Structure 1
Amino acid sequence: MRYKQRPAGSNWGDFGPDDQLGRLNLLTPEKVLEGIAEVREGKSFCLSLPLDLPGGSKWNPRRRPPTLLPVLRNNKSNISYELRQDEPYFTDVLCDHSVTLYTQYSTQWDGLSQVGSLFDLHGDGQRQSCFYNGFAAEADMFGPIVREPDEQGRLPPAPARALGIEHMAAKGVQGRGVLIDLEAHFGREKRRINFRQLREVMEADGVVVERGDIVLFHTGFGQMLIDMNGNPDVEQLEHSCVDLDGRDEALLKWIDETHIAAIAADNHAVEAYPADKLGAAHYPLLPLHELCLFKLGIHLGELWYLTSLARWLREHKRHRFLLTAPPLRLTGAVASPVTPVATV
């Protein structure tokens, strides 16, 4: 056993001692059929931003937009490469790109290896870096952590040996999505939404969330990024649109007890970041991330594009749909770009 005790309020071990899917285990064939039953029009919505948005690195200087480069062919650019250069009777013209992607730059899934916590796994008073289901950072996942670059400024590769995003991809991530339209009730006012306010929105709109559903929160933030067209106004973004209040214990309890399979939002962190400070010796900066990714195994989607879907659902007095949203099958990655599709 990798651990002798599990965090209070966690479900470690409930899906098996070596589980790496978390609440995605609730995406059963029955849940897929429930999602399919929501398809009445055959109309699909792309829920991804263009992956070069937000644009530049003003919003997050640690992350950069995708870089497309030509693959070399015979030491020449393989963009509009005419094969007659190789054999005069060939008529083919070929193109081939390489791409550098920051996995959390734009529309993404956070993997269960993306956020862990310092926790006393063995009950010996020693807190150590660990992740969902008791996988220890060094012993089980990354090995010895190298934090300083070498003479060339490079860090060694660090794929996750456990909890990589490839497990989510292999699952398929398809089921019934439920959209909660926060922008329709709060506009683009900057505020933190607690469970009482969330419940009022759900009651007003007739939204029901059931075991195994994937819940999406529409705030309008993604539409703002679209409208800014690659030149994000950081000041305006930081003072616009609602976030979930990760410090609200009633909200965290609802997420747990509803048995949600996964959560996504069109804002940059689902929850308000940074969360309010606490007068405690130790506490998480991202409490909703800690609950979802570390304790319960609930994957989080960020920076999705939900406005077109939200408007259509409201116009048709609906809130459920079939959601198909597998990440890239990137072995060992802690997160992944995603192009989700909602079908209504």
Structure 2
Amino acid sequence: MSDAAVPDLTELLADSPTNWGKWGPDDEVGSLNYLTAEQVLAGAAQIKKGKVFTLQRLIGDPKGDPVWPGRNPAVREMTLDESHWDEGNNGPAFPGGMHCADDTLTASLQGSTQYDALGHVWYDGKIWNGFDARTTIGGLSKASVAPIAERGDAGRAVLLDIARHRGKEYLEPYETFTHEDLVACAEAQGTPIRPRDILVVRTNHLQLFFEKGDKFYSDFCEAGLVYSPELVSWFQEMEIPNLVTDTIANEVTMDPHNGAALVLHSALMRNLGVAFTEICDLEKLATDCADDGTYSFFYVAAPLKISEATGSPVNPVAIK
């Protein structure tokens, strides 16, 4: 599809629903407001065995860190180690003779398992809740990740194992699915999606990154959810607070129907305030769910509190 034929998001999403103003003119956490105390308790009620699964991918993985094209993987560097006490290196002299190690991390805040800020994407000069896009200049003074980090995220979650549902080890590039597929997957797993559930979607698409290395980025287009007006309406009607996936961008990269990039970032995050959590490692959780047939669990997460940031690393926890 030629660039000239790709519709502008202002046109494509002209009639798309929004939650702007629903929680007041100053709201910066959007659909996470659906996660009331009642939802937290509903999540906690899923705990039957006390099994804990952490969902963050390893930063600095020797096999590589999957990141969005153009972003650099994290670089960890030692600033203090035992070599600093070798002869002539003048390591610090602590009373009592203690030695220690220190290091630094240089990383894109969107370069690992992370939450997007609601102000991360926009069109037509407005970010989430109608804040002016110029509030992003020099840092997000509105709808940064900090309010999400301050609030935290906890509730009942359902794993939707789309790859296993389709009888595949992983979804291929360009492969798409809809909200109807999510519903069908949940029904087949015996755990229907309830209003206000946190949706955790497994594609295992990033296995291709670990198999192919840099060739993963050739003709780059991740598998994922694909935009439709019906999907957006379903997310709004179901009051979905958080979309959690194991891909870099939570949706098919280029919409096969219109050629636009990352439409759901705008339709769901910018317009409905749905929190996006990306690049999760769902493999151990998915195996356990398949083994015991239980696909609902307590999900709890809070990204790092970073002022005015567009996103922040997180290590979500699923408890069954």
Paired residue for 1:112? 118
1:313 is paired with a residue of what secondary structure?
Answer: helix
Q: Could you say which residue in structure 1 is the equivalent of 2:216?
A: 234
Q: Greater helix percent: which structure?
A: 2
Mean alpha-carbon deviation: is it higher for 101-110 or for 191-200?
191-200
Distance 1:95 1:314, change over 3 A: same
Whole-angstrom distance in 2 between the partners of 1:292 and 1:169: 19
Q: Deviations over 1:214-255 (max 9, x none)?
A: 111011124454x54x9354169958x841112x22222211
Q: Please give the secondary structure, in 2, of the residue aligned with 1:24.
A: helix
Matched, 1:178 2:172: no
Q: Which residue of 1 aligns with 2:10?
A: none
Q: 1:269 to 1:54 in 2, by over 3 A?
A: farther
Q: Does 1:208 align with 2:192?
A: yes
**Do the aligned residues in 1 keep the contact of 2:247 with 2:279 (CA within 8 Å)?**
yes
State how far apart, in whole Å, the 1-side matches of 2:128 and 2:273 are: 6
- Residue 46 (structure 1) aligns with: 54
Give CA-to-partner distance per residue, 1:40-84, whole Å, 9 cap, x none. 11111111111235966896442111122344xxxxxx2235599
Percent identity (aligned): 28
User: Does the aligned pair in 1 maintain the 2:298–2:318 contact within 8 Å?
Assistant: yes
TM-score normalised to the size of structure 1?
Answer: 0.79
The residue number in structure 1 matching 2:109 is 103
SS at match of 1:339: coil
What does residue range 141-220 of structure 1 map to in structure 2 within 5 Å?
141-143=135-137, 158-186=138-166, 187=168, 188-190=170-172, 191-220=175-204
Report the CA distance shift for 1:56/1:308 in structure 2 as closer, same or farther (over 3 A): closer
1:244 paired with 2:225, answer yes
* Secondary structure, counterpart of 2:213 in structure 1: coil
Is 1:35 matched up with 2:43?
yes
Across the two proteins, how many residue pairs are aligned to each other?
299
Which residue of structure 1 lines up, in the alignment, with residue 100 of structure 2?
94
Give the alignment of 1:233-312 within 5 angstroms. Answer: 233-234=215-216, 238=220, 242-246=223-227, 248-276=228-256, 278=258, 285-312=261-288
In 1, are the aligned partners of 2:183 and 2:192 still within 8 Å (CA)?
Answer: no
Match of 2:7 in 1: none
Gaps in structure 2 of 5+ consecutive residues: 1-13
Q: How big is the shift at 1:130? A: 1.3
Structure 2 Cα separation of the partners of residues 86 and 195 of structure 1:
58
Do 1:192 and 1:243's aligned partners in 2 also have CA atoms closer than 8 Å?
yes
1:331 aligns with 2:307: yes
1:39 Cα shift?
1.0
Report deviation, 1:335.
0.9
Cα RMSD after superposing both structures: 2.8
Q: Is the 8 A contact 2:245 2:277 kept in 1?
A: yes
